[in-house]
Amino acid sequence: GAGWLYLRRQKEQRLRQRRLRDLRALALGQGDFQLQDTSGTPRSRSDLLGQWVLLYFGFTHCPDVCPEELEKLCRAVELLEEVPGLPPVQPLFITVDPARDDAAALGRYLHDFHPRLQGLTGTAEQVRAAAGAFRVYVSAGPPDPDGDYVVDHSVLTFLLGPDGLVRDCYGRSRTAEELAKSVRGHMESYEPLPP
28 phi and psi angles, rounded to 5 deg: -75, 160
The three-class DSSP label of residue 89 is strand
- Rg of the chain in Å (alpha carbons): 19
Task: Yes or no: say if 138 and 31 are a contact pair by the CB < 8 Å rule.
Answer: no
What is the separation, in whole angstroms, between the first and last Cα of the chain? 34
**61 annotated binding-site participant:** no
Alpha-carbon gap, residue 155 to 158, rounded angstroms: 10
The three-class DSSP label of residue 140 is strand
Residues of the binding site for Cu cation: 62, 66, 153
**Binding site as annotated, residues:** 62, 66, 153
